[in-house]
Amino acid sequence: MNKKILLGLVSLALTSNVYASGHDGNCTDRECQPKTKEVCFNLYCDYDLDTPHDHHDHYDKPCTAASTFTKKVTEDGAEVPESLDGNLEIKCDGQSWIGRADIFTGLLGSRFQTETGPNPAIFLPRGSLTAGCENNIQGHYSTSGIELNDHGKFIRGEGKCFIWTTEKDSHDHSPMPAPTHTPGV
């Protein structure tokens, strides 16, 4: 009985389109792809790294990250899996990483890593890269993670990102200013 349930779940997973929103409703095969549009994304993030100072104490390192990129979303603004290039700037404890970034969006979320990779990198959970509609500038907050390599030791932290979008073909490309402090961080 358990094998039948497992087989049924696997069959359902293989025949379902995980990102099915955005199609016209007449889609019946596994190759159905939603209609998409390109949107300009901007994000600004604040992080706290809990890093060991010595064997007994800890201290917090504040870090910030910012990124701009153009990404496909469904017509209703839902996230679409893809790999793309963008810009990434990370500042942490007096160090800066500025330049091109590889951005990967899949079933678990999005990873932004510097061109030299794999670190430094930031992470967003699945569904964070959604867009507003009808040329409106839309913004929202998302939890996020950061990963750094400090002389061979991986350091991870948690934070929040403010993410705002504009339509790529909008006449108004003025960016929404990023908040100076992210609530709850």
Query: pLDDT tens digit string along 87-111?
Result: 999 998 788 999 999 999 988 999 9
If one counts the domains in the chain, the total is: 2
Residue 1 belongs to some domain of the structure: yes
Same domain, 25 and 91: no
Distances (CA, A) of 133 to 116, 137, 153: 35, 8, 42
Domain that residue 60 falls in: 35-167
For 113-136, the pLDDT digits (tens) are 988 778 899 999 999 998 865 455
Same domain, 58 and 29: no
Q: Are strands 153-167 and 138-150 parallel, antiparallel or unpaired?
A: antiparallel
For 17-58, the pLDDT digits (tens) are 444 444 445 555 566 778 898 999 999 999 988 665 544 444
Distances (CA, A) of 155 to 13, 49, 68, 133, 152: 35, 7, 24, 37, 9
